[in-house]
Amino acid sequence: MLRELSIRHCRFPLVAPFRISRGVKHAADVVMVELRQGGKCGRGESVPYGRYGESVASVIDQLEALRAEVMAGMGRDELQARLPPGAARNALDAALWDLEASVGSVPVWAQLARPAPSPLTSALTVGIDTPERMAAAAAEIADAGLIKIKLDTHDSAARIEAVRRAAPTARLIVDPNESWDIDLLRALQPVLERSAVDLVEQPLPAENDDDLLGFSSRIPICADESCHVAADLPRLRGRYQAVNIKLDKTGGLTEAWRLLRSARAEGFRIMVGCMVGSSFGIAPALELAREAEFVDLDGPLWLKDDYPHGVSLRGGMLVPPSPGFWGG
């Protein structure tokens, strides 16, 4: 049966500027794919990321190049060979999972032999600002089980300590987004330990991974930009102790499951993260999140307006979308 394919750019203004070491976001620009077949619809969303050479236009072009094949019935296995890991493949992979669940009346969680998604603890993010403003932001979410602190090279110690004072009981992830070097990472070890930080995420640029060889840290170091797919794992050994799995890096849930299983087998601790986007981008990641030690899926909470029946924050817990939102 011939499918109908829709590909479009959607923009979601944010409730507040989202500041990381690479710059400031005021809106989330995403690509939405919709696949219709026999009255059923599958949806998938991705976030093109400039760090990986992507743009909304380039992602749409990649998807349009496969239009005829997708409409003729391309499946997820063929998709893995036809598109590289990245945002384009993620959007289409998610739409195919959703369509399969709808056509076959078998939810994605059941296809994966896992229980249905349930509320879980997700990191809430404190963006880069002055130590005082970061402390104020942390105080508003002090009861959260997990807080992520965005950092650059300026005032890192003061910012970490300010957030810790404002949120004395929360677990902390520190995320410099590749802005540090090995000397700064080494110099900040005492404050990281004193502030009881649980995880340091991608402190060095990915191209400087070798600087981590032989570096001993009591705080686990997590690969983000350095880890996209399962084939990346061998070169991470001896450098990182954890990996951050993001669907926009793996190119979708299909490869993300491979990465999860392989990372576990090789002894890496697991984090599941996201870009800033809507609940349609987060819903597939929730299928992985229950398997992770660290979850960072607060992207939709930064939007002024998300889709109805999407994820929500209740009592400090991230609540999955309503049944039928995505994945059956």
Confidence check: pLDDT of 23 > 90:
no
Q: Which residues make up the CATH 3.20.20.120 domain(s) of the chain? A: 124-319
Q: Taking a C-beta distance cutoff of 8 angstroms, is the pair 7, 33 a contact?
A: yes
Residues 6+ apart with CB under 8 A from 174: 148, 149, 151, 160, 192, 197, 199, 200, 201, 203
Mean per-residue pLDDT, 130-138: 98
pTM score over 0.85: yes
Q: pLDDT tens across 257-274, in order?
A: 999 999 999 999 999 999
246 included as an active-site residue: yes
Structural class in CATH, domain 4-111: alpha beta
Confidence check: pLDDT of 1 > 80:
no
Confidence check: pLDDT of 43 > 90:
yes
How far apart (Å, rounded) are the C-alpha atoms in residues 182 and 304? 38
What is the model's pLDDT at position 123?
96
Residue type, 306: D
Q: pLDDT tens across 266-310, in order?
A: 999 999 999 999 999 999 999 999 999 999 999 999 999 999 999
The upper half-sphere exposure of residue 249, i.e. CA atoms within 13 Å in the direction of its Cβ, equals 25
How far apart (Å, rounded) are the C-alpha atoms in residues 302 and 304? 7
Q: Taking a C-beta distance cutoff of 8 angstroms, is the pair 155, 131 a contact?
A: yes
Pairing of strands 23-37, 40-46: antiparallel
The upper half-sphere exposure of residue 222, i.e. CA atoms within 13 Å in the direction of its Cβ, equals 26
- Residue 53 sits at φ, ψ, to 5 deg, of 75, 20
Mean per-residue pLDDT, 13-38: 93
What does the block give as tokens for 322?
């309503």
Q: Which residues make up the CATH 3.30.390.10 domain(s) of the chain? A: 4-111
CA dist 99 to 33, 47, 323, Å? 11, 20, 15
What does the block give as tokens for 137?
């932001």
40 included as an active-site residue: no
What does the block give as tokens for 166?
């404002």
User: Which long-range contacts link 142-146 to residues 24+ away (Cβ below 8 Å)?
Assistant: 142/166, 142/167, 142/168, 142/169, 142/170, 143/169, 143/170, 143/316, 144/170, 144/316, 145/121, 145/170, 145/171, 145/316, 146/121, 146/122, 146/170, 146/171, 146/172, 146/173, 146/198, 146/294, 146/295, 146/296
What is the model's pLDDT at position 316?
82
Q: Which of 40, 148, 246, 249 is catalytic?
A: 246
Confidence check: pLDDT of 315 > 90:
no
What is the model's pLDDT at position 45?
98
What is the model's pLDDT at position 301?
96
Mean per-residue pLDDT, 114-127: 94
Q: Which of 25, 150, 249, 304 is catalytic?
A: 150
Helix, strand or coil for residue 25?
A: strand
In this structure, what is the dihedral angle of CA atoms 85, 87, 92, 96, given to the nearest 10 degrees? 70
Architecture of domain 124-319: Alpha-Beta Barrel (3.20)
Q: pLDDT tens across 84-98, in order?
A: 999 999 999 999 999
Confidence check: pLDDT of 24 > 90:
no
Confidence check: pLDDT of 141 > 80:
yes
What share of the chain has pLDDT > 70, as a percent?
100
Taking all residues of the chain, what is their mean pLDDT, rounded to a whole number?
A: 96
Confidence check: pLDDT of 22 > 90:
no
Q: pLDDT tens across 202-257, in order?
A: 999 999 999 999 999 999 999 999 999 999 999 999 999 999 999 999 999 999 99
What share of the chain has pLDDT > 90, as a percent?
95
Mean per-residue pLDDT, 165-194: 98
Q: pLDDT tens across 55-68, in order?
A: 999 999 999 999 99
What is the model's pLDDT at position 19?
87
